[in-house]
Amino acid sequence: MSGHPVDDTRFVLMNPSHPGNVGAAARAIKVMGFADLVLVRPRLDDVLTHVDAVAMASGAADLLGRARVVTTLTEALDGITHACATAMTPRDFGPPTSAPRAHFATLARQDHRVAFVFGGERFGLANQDVYRCHACLSIPTAPGYGSLNLAQAVQLIAYDWRCAQGGFSVEPRTADAELASLPEVMGALDHWRETLEQIGFLDPAAPKRLLPRLQQLLNRARLTREEVDILRGIARAVTRR
């Protein structure tokens, strides 16, 4: 991890219209390990407690409960030392525009209190709001269609910012299976040879290259001990029939 604890990152939603998006944004922020959410002049006064917001938060209702509502972007950026606007197109006379990962590669090494500012669903960010920021982030999208839902944009920025700080380790859900030893694989192959001879698929007088090919197939498969047992169980079942 870099030197950016969660309290050093803030997500600011300007004039959000839909409670569901606010709830989904809270979920996106929490799942990436962040906790500071500020809303500037939301369309609904009860947006943080609205049934749609709570439903879409899906376990992040505690973050909604801590979120703040303010009336100006200046209030939302109190204590912030580096603000990033998010916009699909750069603004004339605005801050430099870059893709999030390119900007984060440098920003993650600096000691800043960072805010990401997102425009509302209806009109995006106003020029004057973009001008107040140090950088403008534009998420690369397919040519001809760059429309992202507000919560989706929050998720992408939160993910890239977390990755720039080192990300989270992924714990395996199950232990790695033990690979079969070469003698165990050879034992399975011998078992299958006997079975194939018994059912008439393999002529022991003229085996040709079947067995070497089966050997290479098993080697490429990197069989586990459990898989070898399954193959031998199938051979036993075939023999009994």
Evaluate if residue 90 carries a pLDDT over 90.
no
Q: What's residue 228's pLDDT?
A: 92
Q: Are 17 and 50 in contact (CB under 8 A)?
A: no
pLDDT tens digits, one per residue of 10-36:
999 999 999 999 999 999 999 999 999
Which residue bears the tokens 């890239």? 160
In 42-138 the beta strands, taken as DSSP E runs, fall at: 68-70, 82-86, 97-98, 114-118, 135-137
- C-alpha–C-alpha distance, residues 79 and 38, integer Å: 13
Q: Are 44 and 50 in contact (CB under 8 A)?
A: yes
- C-alpha–C-alpha distance, residues 164 and 175, integer Å: 28
- Residue of 121, 125, 74 lying closest to 97 (CA atoms): 125
Tell me what percent of the chain is helix, strand and coil, each rounded to the nearest 5.
Answer: 45, 15, 40
Enumerate residues 6+ apart whose C-beta is below 8 A from 114: 4, 8, 9, 10, 80, 81, 82, 83, 84, 107, 161
Evaluate if residue 101 carries a pLDDT over 80.
yes
DSSP letter for 98, please: E
Which of 77-81, 166-170, 192-196: highest mean pLDDT? 77-81
DSSP letter for 124, please: B
- C-alpha–C-alpha distance, residues 91 and 44, integer Å: 29
pTM of the model: 0.73
Q: Are 128 and 73 in contact (CB under 8 A)?
A: no
Domains of the chain, each with CATH number or no CATH: 6-164 (3.40.1280.10), 182-240 (1.10.8)
- Residue of 51, 130, 144, 60 lying closest to 91 (CA atoms): 130
- C-alpha–C-alpha distance, residues 233 and 20, integer Å: 53
- C-alpha–C-alpha distance, residues 84 and 212, integer Å: 61
Which of 121 and 50 is assigned the larger pLDDT?
A: 50
Q: Are 205 and 159 in contact (CB under 8 A)?
A: no
Q: What's residue 7's pLDDT?
A: 67
Q: Are 78 and 135 in contact (CB under 8 A)?
A: no
Q: What's residue 1's pLDDT?
A: 41
pLDDT tens digits, one per residue of 51-74:
999 999 998 999 999 999 999 999
- C-alpha–C-alpha distance, residues 236 and 118, integer Å: 64
Enumerate residues 6+ apart whose C-beta is below 8 A from 237: none
Evaluate if residue 2 carries a pLDDT over 70.
no
pLDDT tens digits, one per residue of 129-149:
999 999 999 998 888 887 789
